[in-house]
A and B are shown apart, each in its own frame.
Chain A
Amino acid sequence: MSAADAPVVSAQGAALAYAGAPVLDCLDFAAGPGTAVSVLGPNGGGKTTLFRALVGELSPVSGSVFAQGRPAYVAQTERTRLDFPVSALDVALMGSLASGRWWLPARRSERRSAEAALERVGLASEAGTRFGALSGGQRRRVLIARALVQDATVLLLDEPLAGVDPASAEQIERLFGELRSEGRTLLVSTHDIENARRYDLVLCLNRRQVAFGSPQDVLLPKILEETYGSEIVILQDGGGPVRAIAVGHHHH
């Protein structure tokens, strides 16, 4: 493996726990630059816990996790304060805080970078709009713009397409393609099994790593049932591709 292909995000025999209580075990995966990884699993399966470990908020109790640089984390918009008097540009500009200059006023270059990020997610015209007044899909795109300002090699996105309007979803998917072509690695948690087929790799979690590999190797009925248990409905298992729907999850 050349240096250019060396993993930018990986886990080796890692186990994660909160206050001693095991949450996620047997993590063993690696993804190189420009790779998109779909992270599948039920609620409470450990997707967000994995992201917390990759940003350094949670140390593994055994093994190791690695991400090159400081990954940009895009949480679900429900975890943000919609009543805050901040505009879309203010939120995008928050990404510049990751540079470590948080005690100093924002520089012009950082402001320009935030404006460019908003333009990239198709929200340049909404820069001055209050974050809470935007639609759900627009808010999601603003948080992605904040991650773009961080200029991270690895982006961790927590259900970025859940409850998003079709126009925003299309814009986000197109942006993901651009980011991959720039050599950025994406880890995207989702419940959308059909959508996961479009990714380079799929990581299945259910309190442990159930499977990791290409979509055709991983998105099989047996593995999906092991990942979701009774929360999955297999729609078709004939000669064609397997179709499955994860049920019982929140759709925002």
Chain B
Amino acid sequence: MNLIRITAVTAPPSPIELLELRPVVFALAELGLLAVAGGLLGAWIVLRRLAFFTHAAGTATFPGLVLAEAGAFSPRLAALVVALGFAGGVERAGRRGRDPGDVATALLLVAALAGGVVLASDVFESGAAVDRLLFGTAVGLDWGDLLLSGAACLLALGTTVGLGRAWTAAGFDPEGADSMGLPSSRADLLLLVTIAVAVVAALPAVGALLVSSIFVVPAAIARLFATSVTGLLRSAVLVAAAQGTLGLYLALWLDVPPGPAVSVLGAGAYAACALAKASGSRRRGPLPAARATA
């Protein structure tokens, strides 16, 4: 957040004036592309209970990013290699009948964070760069970042169109999907790989720690109200776009990093929506089906 500094927090900045700044336009474009990728994939992440995997995939890239920065090789490539390796490991564990969100994933998460911190502080003395790797910097992106996010966006769209029915059937009834001859294992592996690629694309904007704010929070909000998979996909993209745009604006106005601003906004929105839904349910009473079976 060194590019733009608004000294007074008293008056909100004009959105039109902000759009005259190239870094802001880049940030908006990046968050727009990630809204499509994050919204679509987020819907599958929430439906298939892969939130922990997604968070862990982002965090697992941290030591790779530190090494790339110190070694002056491509951080995107380093992150991609680590994330894909992680996705492959989780898929392999799943095939052996173990839950992807198990203790091994948690241990990997802790090990990755601890390893990254040790590498950053004691080995390479990365200093302030650690903040950027962990929390990202949406204002300060280049064409390469946008291209990678564009590719992630297309990948999310393509896989949702081509594999959405299989992912829905396999998530709803895994045994039923297998008995119908669906290639569930391969489809699930592709879902994990697609998430891993999209997570890497989101790293420059939101960092290794906050990828969940793009891939989990909007879909979790949409999931509270969605009554169909298609509705969930559409509303998750819309929520992600609104969260990204508003989060970026708040970050510029309050002079805070965009990644945390987007995350805090999303978490607050989720809490408000969950409370609103719970109070609405209390007012309405039990559903007719629940009353019938009570």
Contact = CB atoms under 8 A, between A and B. Distances in A.
Contact of A97 (B47, B169, B232, B287): B169
Interface of A: 55-57, 70-73, 75, 79-81, 84-87, 90-91, 94-95, 97-98, 100, 102-103, 105-106, 130-131, 133-135, 143, 146, 150
A57 B180 contact: no
B178 interface: yes
B171 A81 contact: yes
A133 B286 CA distance: 11
A75 B175 contact: yes
Interface in B152-193: 162-163, 165-166, 168-169, 171-182
B172 A84 contact: yes
B228 A90 contact: yes
Contact of A80 (B163, B165, B172, B227): B172
Given A95-B180, A97-B165, A130-B227, A81 B173 contact: yes
A16 B104 CA distance: 32
Contacts of A75: 173, 175-176, 179
B172 A134 contact: no
Contacts of B168: 84, 86, 90, 94
Interface of B: 47, 162-163, 165-166, 168-169, 171-182, 223, 226-229, 231-232, 287, 289, 292-293
A44 B287 CA distance: 36
A91 to B, nearest CB: 7
A55 B179 CA distance: 6
B275 to A, nearest CB: 20
29 contacts: A56-B181, A57-B178, A79-B174, A79-B175, A80-B172, A81-B173, A84-B168, A84-B171, A85-B47, A85-B226, A85-B232, A86-B168, A90-B228, A91-B172, A94-B172, A97-B165, A97-B166, A97-B169, A97-B182, A98-B181, A103-B162, A103-B166, A105-B165, A130-B227, A133-B287, A133-B289, A134-B289, A143-B173, A146-B176
